[in-house]
Amino acid sequence: MIYRPAYVDKIMAYADTPFVKVLSGVRRCGKSTILKMVAEKLRERGIADEHILTYNLDSLQYEGMTAKMFYNEVKDKLPPNGKTYLFLDEIQEITDWEKAVNSFMTDFDVDLYVTGSNSRMMSSEISTYLTGRYVGFRIFPLSFAEYLTFRNEYGTTENPHSEFARYLRYGGFPAIHLQEYTTDEAYTIVKDIYNSTIFTDIVKRGQIRKVDQLERIVKFAFDNIGRTFSAASISKYLKSERRTIDNETVYSYLSKLESAFILHRCSRFDLQGKELLKTQEKFYVCDSAMKYSVLGYTPDSVAAMLENVVYLELLRRGYDVTIGQLASGEIDFVATKQENKLYVQVTQKIEREETLEREYGRLLDIKDNYPKYVLRTDEFAGGNYKGIKTMHVADFLLSDAY
C-alpha cells in the first residue's frame, strides 16, 4: 500500500472521538485502502487485532442483509471488554444502514469508520441520518503529488512537467498506477469503473428506464467540461438528435451523476454583486481518465482537462470553489477557505498578446490583495506580472503555498 497521509492523518485526528468517520467518494478512488491504512495506524498505537473488526459489505455474503440482521451479526463478534474499532466498507449496501450505525454508537463502546459510494453518502443525506454524530471526509482519486509517489514506487518517473502530461491523460485512479499499463488497458479499467457506477449506483438504484438518455447526457457533460451549460441546452441538443427530454429530467440525471461522484457542479459567483448566480453552471468530471475512457483522448480536450485537474486539487485542499463573474469576463476559479481566498486562471499557452491581456487583465480588474495565479503548461511559465503569480500547472499542484 502507498501511504496517503493527506487523508489518513486527518482521519486519525478523530480517532477515539464520539463521531462516525464517514469516507465518501467515487468507486475505486481508494476509500477501502485508506480504511486499511487507518486500521494499521491503530495497530501501531497498540490496538490488538481482536479489537479491530472490518466488514466489506460489497461482498455477496451481505446481499439483502437488513440493518437488524447486520446489527446482530456484528454484536455477536464484539469482544466483551474494551473499545472495538469497527470498519464498515460500502455501508450503503445494508438496507437502512443508518439504523445499525446509530445503534452501534448507542449500545456499544465502538469507534466507527464507514465508507460509501452513492447518493445516500452525500453530506445532505448523512446529516439527516446521523445528526451531529459524524465527521465527513471526501476522498478523491490520486492527486498529482500522490501519483508521483505511486510512479516512484511502481514505475519510472521523469521530471514533474513531463509526468504531468501522463497524469493528465491517465488520471488518478490508483488501480491503473500499480503497474505499467498501455493507454488502452488503463482506459478499459476506468471504463469498467464508469459502467459499474452508472449501472449499479444510478440506473439500478434510481430505477432509470431510459438508459440511453442518461448516457447521452453523460457524454454531453463530458464533452462540455469547463463550459457553462444548462438543462435547456442539453434538451435542445437531444432534440436535435430527435430525442425529446424535459428540463426537469435532465436536472434529475445530472443530480444523480453528482450523487455518484462522477460529476462535480461548480456555480458562478458575481464578484461585483457578491452573490451566487443560479444559471449556467459548469460541471467537472471526477477524473480525466473517466472522460477519456468514454469519449476517447483528443489533443483539443487538454485545455478543459487542465481546468478540471486544478478544480479537483482545490477541492482536495478543502476550498469552496466557484467561477468568478466580472463585467469583463470570467475568472476560472475563486477558491475560499475560511479567511483565505485565491483567484486562478488556467490556460494551456500564452502565445499572443490578446491571450495575455485576457488572462491577466481580468485578474487585474479585481481590486483586492488576495493571491492571484495564472497557470500554464509551457516552459516559460514562471515569474510575476503586476503582482500576479505565473506558474506551470504541475508546480502549482505540488506547491504548499496555498
What does each of the 402 residues of the chain score in pLDDT, given as a tens digit? 889 999 999 999 999 999 999 999 999 999 999 999 999 999 999 999 999 999 999 899 999 999 999 999 999 999 999 999 999 999 988 989 999 999 999 999 999 999 988 756 655 667 777 878 999 999 999 999 999 999 998 877 779 999 999 999 999 999 999 989 999 999 999 999 999 999 988 998 888 989 999 999 999 999 999 999 888 889 888 888 888 899 999 999 999 999 899 999 999 998 887 888 777 899 999 999 999 999 999 999 999 999 999 999 999 999 999 999 998 889 999 999 999 999 999 998 776 667 677 789 899 999 999 999 999 998 777 888 889 999 999 999 999 989
DSSP letters spanning 183-246: HHHHHHHHHHHHHHIIIIIIIIHHT-S-HHHHHHHHHHHHHTTTS-B-HHHHHHHHHHTT----
Judge whether 238 and 245 are in contact, CB under 8 Å. Answer: yes
Q: How far is CA 349 from the centre of its chain?
A: 26
β-pair type (84-89, 52-56)? parallel
Q: Which residues, in sequence order, are CB contacts of 365 under 8 Å at separation 6+?
A: 326, 327, 328
In angstroms, what CA-CA distances link 196 with 199, 205, 264? 5, 12, 19
The radius of gyration of the chain's CA atoms, rounded to the nearest angstrom, is: 22
Helix (H) and strand (E) counts in the chain: 16, 13
